[in-house]
Structure 1
Amino acid sequence: MSDRTDIDPLALEEQVCFALSVAARSVVAVYRPLLEPMGLTHPQYLVMLALWQHAPLSVRRLSKLLQLDPGTLSPLLKRLEAIGYLRRERDHTDERSLAITLTPEGRKLRDRAEQIPPAVVRRLGIPPADLRTLHAALTQVIAAARPH
């Protein structure tokens, strides 16, 4: 067992950013075969999750929920609209704002998507309690890394 003071502070395997980056890519890879039959990419799935929970949403509100700038969000919304899962319409209360609503097909897709979380848990083989602990830790990291 080596003494922790002997560890190089710039060693790749010691970097939180490296572990987070590899973990993110690896988890997204687990989702990919589950989402492909639905015609969704992982970022599109995140949009759909937000809409299933909160629709209708303004683009501004959706952008805040997903922590994505509107310029990144816009192509995702256009693609989801093109495949028939959502509609972008002018907000009736504020013509300057776009309201995002689910189509009947987009609402129906939720039934299929309910199978994804348990499939991911099975594939990862990590107990749900450990995943909740990980989620809490990552949420703490996200909050700490936000500009003040």
Structure 2
Amino acid sequence: MQFFCSNIHELTALDLHELYKLRTDVFVVEQDCPYEEIDAIDALKSTIHIRAIEAGQLVGTARVFPRDGMSVIGRFAVHPDFRGTGLAQDLMHQALSLTEGSVWIAAQAALEGYYRQFGFEPCGELFDDAGIMHRPMLRPAAPHAQQ
């Protein structure tokens, strides 16, 4: 498994096509959630797209971007054939390694427990996002080492 981190301007047309196809397959088709999958955040130079590649195939992706003095992780998707393999954990560790300060996510309510293992805690009420209940969660900034 290889991980690649880049902004959208560094991706080839084929890389971008594969990224959008995986996200659309997971979020729009599999989860039956028609919404604006491609948004302006993708194109920001400050947004980092993480791509997990296995045998030349894109099998996982996430994006990390700054907002309101913290980092946000979103569009976290793993190909169905690679779920339960540990890829999701590896992908999350890659994403977290790119963050600074506190980290915010909008977790699907069913996955709230999953995100707790990475230090995320609920920080708001459940909300409906395109027919799927989500919970805002926050991972506090790591304390600075004592000198």
Report the TM-score, using the length of structure 2 for normalisation.
Answer: 0.29
Which structure: larger Rg?
1
Write 1 or 2 for the structure with the bigger share of helix: 1
Write 1 or 2 for the structure with the bigger share of strand: 2
